[in-house]
Amino acid sequence: MFKKIFISVLGLLFFWSVAMLLPNVSKAENTSKIYFFYGQGCPHCGEVEEFFNENDLYSKYPVEKKEIYFNRENAVLFNKLMDDLGILSQYRGVPAVVIGNKALIGDTPIITSFITETDKFLKSENVESNNKQMDKSTGKKTDLTLAAVIVGSLVDAINPCEFAVLIILMTTILATGNSRKALWAGLAFATSIFISYFLMGLGLYQALSLGNASDWFFKIVGWLAIALGILNIKDFFWYGKGFLMEVPLSWRPRLKGLINSVTSPRGAFLIGFLVSIFLLPCTSGPYIVILGMLAKRVLDVRAIAYLLIYNLIFVSPMLIISWAVYKGFDPKTAETIRQKQLKTLHLIAGVVLLAMGGVILLGWV
């Protein structure tokens, strides 16, 4: 029964992530529409609203109203369009109207220029080419965001901490002489890690999203990635000195005791939730960077899909090692390899985090 539940849950999570991602990747904003961004309670927005109503502009033009003070998806769309148009954060505000590749910000510019600019835009023979250009721009950002999620999760997946934990677990279960039980213990452990990290990531993403992450916050995320990268590179050259990007030494005896107490797949599943807390200092770096990036750039539904993909990649080495041990691979050999490659893994993580920080600060994602 436990095996069937595990396979069903894993399959559903995979297909859910793909199903949630595909509709959003293929969907592009219709730039032949005119977006009117406003904030509830904004008096200048009220002036524009009155102008639109008096001139019956909603029926004459394809105007879409988007409130951004209390609607996060609209706020993300607003900032995305402003980014595409190259408008700096200090010049953004409501009321604002986006007409193709032009923005009118402020009640006076909108009232005086809306009709002229909109007529010019809709009559232009370049509307279709503008749409394609904007779609390509949007697609590049989406691709880069997905690429960052994949790269970040791969860096997280090769961190030495999760390898060490899984090797101890597999060794403990194999001591019972049952390799099949060890396989299911490893899979159960990976599943619990996946669930706990996904839920923690979802909670942090929502917390970061509440403040409508601004440009300065996004820069902080970029500098955080660079700082974490430097610390990982430090561990390559001066391992064990200063702050170590792994599970703190004082935590390790208790962590090992928890893992050694596991005797069944069900126990491995339950212990996985506790172990995930111990792993946070070692594995949270790339995750926090990705979450900060998603909170600034990505809508809720797509962010959930990205989190699912991230965590599926994150636990994939656990699944591979579990299967390899079941097929006869000695966990002690895996531990020897891990010890030899420990510094190299820190170097790889450091270089990738530095690159991610640079990409974020340069605004490429």
The pLDDT assigned to 42 comes to 93
| Section 226-242 average pLDDT | 82
| Strongest mean pLDDT among 66-75, 202-211, 292-301, 316-325 | 66-75
Report cis status (omega within 30 of 0) of the bond before 281: no
Tokens for 150, please give them: 């994949």
Q: Strands, E, within the chain: which ranges?
A: 34-38, 63-67, 96-99, 102-105
The pLDDT assigned to 65 comes to 92
**How many angstroms from the chain centroid is the CA of residue 59?**
39
Residue 223 pLDDT greater than 70, yes or no: yes
The pLDDT assigned to 213 comes to 52
Give the pLDDT confidence of 247-281 residue by residue, as tens digits: 666 666 777 777 777 777 888 888 878 777 777 76
Rg (CA), the chain: 25
* Amino acid at position 84, single letter: D
Residue 55: which H helix or E strand, with range? none
Asked if 73 and 299 touch (Cβ cutoff 8 Å), the reply is: yes
What single-letter DSSP state applies at residue 90? G
| Section 104-117 average pLDDT | 92
The pLDDT assigned to 72 comes to 83
Asked if 322 and 166 touch (Cβ cutoff 8 Å), the reply is: yes
Domain boundaries, given as residue ranges, for the chain: 34-124, 139-361
170 contact partners, CB below 8 Å, separation of at least 6: 182, 185, 186, 321, 322, 325, 331
Task: Please tell me the distance from the alpha carbon of residue 343 to that of residue 360, in angstroms, as a whole number.
Answer: 26
- 36, β-bridge pairs: 65, 97
The pLDDT assigned to 326 comes to 82
Q: State the pairing for strand pair 63-67/102-105.
A: unpaired
Burial class (CB in 10 A: 0-12, 13-18, 19+), 64: middle
In degrees and rounded to multiples of 5, residue 75 shows phi and psi of: -65, -40
Give the pLDDT confidence of 29-66 residue by residue, as tens digits: 445 578 999 999 999 999 999 999 999 888 888 899 99
What single-letter DSSP state applies at residue 333? H
**How many angstroms from the chain centroid is the CA of residue 28?**
20
Tokens for 138, please give them: 């949007």
CA quadruple 323, 324, 330, 333: dihedral sign? negative
Give the pLDDT confidence of 44-54 residue by residue, as tens digits: 999 999 999 99
The pLDDT assigned to 98 comes to 93
Q: What is the DSSP string of 265-324?
A: HHHHHHHHHHHHHHHHHHHHHHHHHHHHHHHHH--HHHHHHHHHHHHHHHHHHHHHHHHH
Q: Name the one residue in this structure whose structure tokens are 């951004």.
A: 68
- 63, β-bridge pairs: 34
pLDDT band at 239 (very low <50, low <70, confident <90, very high): confident
Does CATH place domain 34-124 in 2.60.40.10? no
Task: Please tell me the distance from the alpha carbon of residue 155 to that of residue 286, in angstroms, as a whole number.
Answer: 7
pLDDT band at 340 (very low <50, low <70, confident <90, very high): confident
Percent of the chain having pLDDT more than 90? 15
The edge-to-edge listing of strands for the beta sheet with 34-38 is 63-67, 34-38, 96-99, 102-105
- Spatial CA neighbour of 237 closest among 334, 138, 350, 135: 350
